[in-house]
Amino acid sequence: MPKLGIVSTHPIQYFSPWFRHLAEQGDRLGLRLRLSNEEPAKFEFEVFYAHKQTARGQAEAGFGVEFEWDVPLLEGYPHRFLKNVSKRPGTDWFGGCDCPEIGEILVKEGFTHVLLIGWHKKVFWQALWAAKKAGIKAFSRGDSQLAMASSPLKRAVKYMLYRFLLPKFDAHLYVGRRNFEYLKHYGVRESRLFFSPHFVDNEWWAGRAKAADEMKMKMKIKKEDTVFLFAGKFIPKKRVMDLLEAAAGVPEARVV
């Protein structure tokens, strides 16, 4: 029976709806997962988290203020938190998510596939090596691109390391053209690349459209106006100023 393990650093607000959808559609998806010469098998999956993020951790991750998300992050899908043995737990450095038990769990509990939400933390490497040793299919999903700024030395080190690491995956789920080019640059064969774009919970946002219209009225934004919105952390790598500079070049533009 196909059984998928999904490994992530911590609960993330834009992944939880995806996991809930997988849980809701499990039986339907199971019809697409056939074993050789056998009847369709039911789809099973579980999400593994390496770190329990706190309000303080959210602030330190770049948001600047302590807060808790006002949307459910752990409801509606199977999940568990791994034992993180890092001396300094967190998501801000490679060793902050150190969960050696993930390999034993994947093998002993009969997982046939594992999806890693990145490869930039120790837990992902632990899961990958365990999967390769046990014959478990390993996939990865990320959104890195070559345009991301870095020093020449860092680019050289990454090129050697990633050319060795990334082709080890059985498949990569790429989110767009630049992510596709990034993976090709580091030696991943095109036959192992599968399109998996970013997504939104349309029903959730549609249910809040009225509140958005009310906010636009308060800000005196007309229906015929074009609105440019930035949603993210106000940190340099998000390049907020790029949006402001582009908007400033639009005739009669105003910042609200």
Total tally of structural domains belonging to the chain: 2
What confidence tens digit (pLDDT) does each residue in 77-90 have? 999 999 999 999 99
- For CA atoms 8, 13, 18, 23, give the dihedral sign: positive
The pLDDT confidence band at residue 235, using thresholds 50, 70 and 90, is confident
pLDDT of residue 31: 46
In a domain, 16, yes or no: yes
What does pTM read for this prediction? Answer: 0.81
212 in the same domain as 137: no
Q: Could you list the residue range(s) of the whole structural domain that residue 129 is in?
A: 3-142
Close Cβ partners of 246 (under 8 Å, ≥ 6 residues apart) = 228
212 in the same domain as 135: no
135 in the same domain as 213: no
227 in the same domain as 138: no
What confidence tens digit (pLDDT) does each residue in 56-76 have? 777 776 677 777 877 889 999
10 in the same domain as 125: yes
11 in the same domain as 137: yes
CA gap 141, 14 in Å, rounded: 14
More confident: 162 or 231 = 162
pLDDT mean across residues, the chain: 86
Quote the tokens at residue 82: 């791994």
pLDDT of residue 26: 67
* 3-8 β-sheet, strand order: 79-81, 44-49, 3-8, 113-116, 137-142, 171-174, 193-195
pLDDT at residue 35 above 50? no
Lowest mean pLDDT among 40-49, 154-163, 247-256: 247-256
Q: What is the mean pLDDT of residues 170-186?
A: 95
Q: What is the mean pLDDT of residues 108-131?
A: 95
- What are the backbone angles phi and psi of residue 49, rounded to the nearest 5°? -110, 140
Contact 47, 114 (CB under 8 A): no
What confidence tens digit (pLDDT) does each residue in 189-216 have? 999 999 999 888 888 888 888 888 888 8
Our separate counts of H helices and E strands in the chain read: 10, 7
Where does a domain end: 86, 116, 142?
Answer: 142
What's the CATH code of the domain at 80? 3.40.50
Q: Which amino acid is at 152?
A: P
Where does a domain end: 112, 142, 172?
Answer: 142
In a domain, 253, yes or no: no
pLDDT of residue 200: 81
136 in the same domain as 37: yes
More confident: 25 or 10 = 10
pLDDT of residue 33: 47
Burial of residue 96 (CB within 10 Å: 0-12, 13-18, 19+) is buried
Quote the tokens at residue 98: 């150190």
In a domain, 170, yes or no: no
17 in the same domain as 126: yes
Where does a domain end: 121, 142, 163?
Answer: 142
The pLDDT confidence band at residue 29, using thresholds 50, 70 and 90, is low
